[in-house]
Amino acid sequence: DTAVSQTPKYLVTQMGNDKSIKCEQNLGHDTMYWYKQDSKKFLKIMFSYNNKELIINETVPNRFSPKSPDKAHLNLHINSLELGDSAVYFCASSQGMVASPTYEQYFGPGTRLTVT
Amino acid sequence: QKEVEQDPGPLSVPEGAIVSLNCTYSNSAFQYFMWYRQYSRKGPELLMYTYSSGNKEDGRFTAQVDKSSKYISLFIRDSQPSDSATYLCAIGDSWGKLQFGAGTQVVVTP
């Protein structure tokens, strides 16, 4: 059983298009995250939701809009895609925040986005 | 200056050697320290998590934190080819925000 799953795994699209990435976790976790990993492997947090409430909203262009329909799902919609958006996007989930003694963060397999 | 500095490597060691990885950070407000392992084309997986200065051991892995120097380390004893991966340090705050290092690529040769 996959703990954190993402669809699609690969996404190739042209500049200016709008696309969505979906994430689902079956771990019963309260908190979900979106990260971006660039070509140099640098991993940076974009957003996090706790019980469907936006907790972390980093300095990300407003073309990126997360949406959490329920605790188990966190989607990422990207408008007007640009070349610089090409990266691997990871979804993650955790039970509680990092300060919790039960904290452990599980990552999905990633969505490799290529904008041409 | 990045909040977390980590040498990207690659670091190549022979099988059985001790792998030593480290990161420095600049913001003392972050108080939770983690090491993740990432295999090629996979998501990171949490290896070690600690929130106090000192050592924490788990099997062949030892995480070390020195808050006064803002320095964290990961040691892998008796390294195996299966340990070949990218290792990322991360520091976190109470809200779950993690700052990651650039990751160090480790290659363990048989």
Interchain contact, A48 vs B103, CB within 8 Å: no
Tell which B residues from 50 to 109 touch A, by Cβ distance under 8 Å.
51, 86, 88, 92-98, 100, 102-103
Mean pLDDT rounded to a whole number for chain A: 91
> What are B109's two structure tokens?
């040769």
Which stretches of chain B drop beneath a pLDDT of 70?
Answer: 1, 96
Cis peptide bond N-terminal to A8, omega within 30: yes
The contacts of residue A100 (CB under 8 Å, 6+ apart) are: none
Over residues A99-111, the mean pLDDT reads 80
Of B43, B46, B100, the CB nearest to A104: B46
B49/chain A closest Cα distance in angstroms: 8
Fill in the DSSP letter of residue B79: -
Q: What is the CB neighbour count within 10 angstroms for residue B84?
A: 17
Mean pLDDT rounded to a whole number for chain B: 91
A111/chain B closest Cα distance in angstroms: 10
Whether the per-residue pLDDT at A15 is higher than 70: the answer is yes
